[in-house]
Amino acid sequence: MIAVLLFSACSIKNYDKTQTKIIIIKSPQLKFADLGYIRNSAKSVELELFSAGVSIQKVRINYLICVDEGCMSRSSFNQKYLNKTYPSDILQNILLSKAIYDGKGMLKKQDGFLQKIKNNDVDITYKVGSKSTFFKDKKNKIILKIKDIK
């Protein structure tokens, strides 16, 4: 049963929406700046990263997060690649330009929103606009930028 669940979590999905974006990721464990695709359906999200036109990494998010090395829980992914104190849905919410931390500190803007979250573990500025998404955690040295291609 567990093998079936793991296999289905990492299997190819049919996505309802595909967007081409400029994606920048900077963290102690990840560094990337180039084009990527964000594909999503009601329950799944996939981030496919390209370098010089060649696919170099896919990150598939369902109830698990699957990367080329295998699948892991969302909290395990956060611990390995982002920050262990982040909510389990943070990467999916950033990729889909949705509120993080259940909307904590949200200020609505004309074309989106701004969230500032600061505590002992994080110092986050998160801005979502009509053409871009920007996430920066100063304390943990993590930046994610997602921009529309003109």
pLDDT score recorded for residue 4: 38
3-state secondary structure the chain: CHHHHHHHHHCCCCCCEEEEEEEEEECCCCEEEEEEEEEECCCCEEEEEEECCEEEEEEEECCEEEECCEEEEHHHHHHHHCCCCCCCCHHHHHHCCCCCHHHCCEEEECCEEEEEEECCCCEEEEEECCCEEEEEECCCCEEEEEEECC
Question: How many structural domains are present in the chain?
Answer: 1
Question: pLDDT tens across 56-69, in order?
Answer: 899 999 989 999 88
Q: Residue 77 is part of a domain; what is its CATH number? A: 2.50.20
Domain that holds residue 55: 2-148
Q: Is the pLDDT score of 140 beyond 90?
A: yes
pLDDT score recorded for residue 16: 82
Q: How confident is the model at residue 7 (pLDDT cuts 50, 70, 90)?
A: very low
**Regarding predicted confidence, which is higher, 9 or 124?**
124
Using a pLDDT cut of 90, give the percent of the chain over it: 71
Q: Is the pLDDT score of 33 beyond 80?
A: yes
Question: pLDDT tens across 96-118, in order?
Answer: 999 999 999 999 999 999 999 99
Q: How confident is the model at residue 144 (pLDDT cuts 50, 70, 90)?
A: very high
Question: pLDDT tens across 41-51, in order?
Answer: 888 999 999 98
Question: The pTM is what?
Answer: 0.88
Span 25-42, average pLDDT = 91
Q: Is the pLDDT score of 13 beyond 80?
A: no
